[in-house]
Amino acid sequence: MERLVVVGMVMLALAGGTFIGRSKGRPAPPAAQPAAVMSQAPASVVIGAARRIDAVTRVLASGSVTSIRDSKIGSRLSGRVAAVLVEEGQRVAAGTPLLRLDTSDLEAQEAQAEANVAGARARLDEVLAGQRPQERQQVTNAVSQAEAALHSAQASLDLAQANVQRMRSLKTQGAVSQQDLDSAETQARVAQAQVVQAQAAYDSAKQNWNIMTVGARQEDIQQARAQLAQAEAGLAMVREQLRESTISAPFDGTITRRNVEPGEVVSSAGGASQSPLFVLSQVADVYVEFIVPAQHRSELQQGQAAQMAVDGLPGRVFDGRVEEIRPAADVASRTFGVKIRVPNPQGILRPGMFARGAIVVGVRHAVLSIPEQAVVTATSGPIVYVAREGRAIRQSVTLGEHHEGSVEVTSGLAEGDTVVIEGQDGLTDNQPITPRTP
């Protein structure tokens, strides 16, 4: 990589044609003696004018084309691929379906989950609504019947206990036998048991009546609601899996890789060794990632213009701008990465292509320049031959920066001076010249 000054406009006015070749470092011929000047034949030369131009300072670089962003797309579900809906190289919009998995099992699970939700919702409605009028009447009747049975059993017990007292009195008088007394006492015990049983039945009926009157317990309501929430969560999970069975593009881009075919079984298990189903790249714009030596870091700024050519696309020049400069240098190479954003509306720039170009880091206006081949290296320093009144006049010059066949002149010439750019070999100071077409 090197740093050059780029001339922004054509600088030369050639006499009858264009200039060729560069004679940089050419030794100067000795100055002619005045006595010999008149005997010299005119030299045939090509001339050009010193012009003021805009000089551009650039940093040359090379690097690779990358996408603005990539997405390696896989499946969150395991299953058989029912259909692949895109081809490699196809442009897609965000949300475009890329692949569908077989969903027959999930559809059956969805139907079962929907039934579970319906059952849980019906149970909650039943708990919240309480018993129906017919059921309420049945509970009321059950209480009445249990109460009547309890009164009847109590009356039977009272009668049996009175009969025992009578039998005991008669036994004392010898009017009844011990067996008759035992039989009366047994009947009393049976009547007592029937009272206890009737009391329990009445208490149960009364409790059911109280529940009917107060309504369902809060625990029952909470349990019914929890069962409904669980059923709805199961249904939501199945429906989410159904949505995920269709894989869609997360953003606008181009399918740069496709690694799946219909009928294959894909796995949801991710891993470094597992290839993605698709690679989606955003290439409407691309990055060219240049590598720049650390000594040029201070010259770089975001927004600077850049131009580049790409291997594989001969004759094409692409324009871009600096979007990102890496904050730290690479320790091994002592270089900085620079991202150039380049419009790519036709999609011809693809990730992985190699690019060479330059970043514009400065512009100087009205720089006086001449063709490089006009300069001759003399012992005293650089010189040129100025074409003046049909003669070549030797002139010392001070030079600035070089670029693309031109060189800056900081002193020794003025704008519009005409210099010899071809045919200096053998020229002497004040020698006659004849301009020609190169």
Query: Which pLDDT tens digit goes with each residue over 101-151?
Result: 999 999 999 999 999 999 999 988 877 776 566 667 787 888 899 899 989
Q: What is the pTM of this model?
A: 0.56
Q: CB count, 10 Å around CB of 197? A: 13
172 vs 394 pLDDT, higher one:
394
With a cut of 70, say whether residue 433 has pLDDT above it.
Answer: yes
Q: Is the pLDDT score of 2 beyond 60?
A: no
According to the model, what pLDDT value does residue 5 have? 35
Share of the chain above pLDDT 90, in %: 62
pLDDT digits (tens, 9 = 90+) for 262-279: 999 998 865 555 789 999
* The pLDDT value given to residue 226: 94
Question: What mean pLDDT comes out for the span 19-25?
Answer: 36
Residue ranges of domains in the chain, CATH in brackets: 3-60+365-435 (2.40.420.20), 64-68+281-357 (2.40.30.170), 71-102+246-279 (2.40.50.100), 131-215 (1.10.287)
pLDDT, one tens digit per residue, over 95-109 is 999 999 999 999 999
Q: Would you state the pLDDT for residue 424? A: 86
Question: What pLDDT, on the 0 to 100 scale, is given for residue 181?
Answer: 83
pLDDT above 80 (res 217)? no
The one-letter amino acid code at 70 reads: D
Sign, Cα dihedral of 391, 392, 395, 397:
positive
By the 10 Å C-beta count (0-12 exposed, 13-18 middle, 19+ buried), 432 is classed as middle
- Has residue 436 got a pLDDT over 60? yes
> What is the token pair recorded at 87?
């081809």
pLDDT in tens, 58-67: 899 999 999 9
Mean pLDDT, all residues of the chain:
86
pLDDT at 130 (0 to 100)? 63
User: Is the pLDDT confidence value at 175 over 90?
Assistant: no
Q: Among candidates 241, 4, 220, which has minimal Cα distance to 124?
A: 220
Rounded to whole angstroms, the maximal C-alpha distance in the chain is 192
pLDDT at 32 over 50: no
pLDDT confidence of residue 8? 34
Mapping DSSP onto H, E and C, the string for the chain reads: CCEEEEECCCCCCCCCCCCCCCCCCCECCCCCCHHHHCCCCCEEEEEEECEEEEEEEEEEEEEEEEECCEEEECCCCCEEEEEECCCCCCEECCCCEEEEECCHHHHHHHHHHHHHHHHHHHHHHHHHHCCCHHHHHHHHHHHHHHHHHHHHHHHHHHHHHHHHHHHHHHHHHCCCCHHHHHHHHHHHHHHHHHHHHHHHHHHHHHHHHHHHHHCCCHHHHHHHHHHHHHHHHHHHHHHHHHHHCEEECCCCEEEEEECCCCCCEECCCCCCCCCCCEEEECCCEEEEEEEEEHHHHHHCCCCCEEEEEECCCCCCCEEEEEEEECCCCCCCCCEEEEEEEEECCCCCCCCCCEEEEEEEEEEEEEEEEEEHHHCEEECCEEEEEEEECCEEEEEECEEEEEECCEEEEEECCCCCCEEEEECCCCCCCCEEEEECCC
Q: How far apart are CA 142 and CA 348, in angstroms?
A: 88
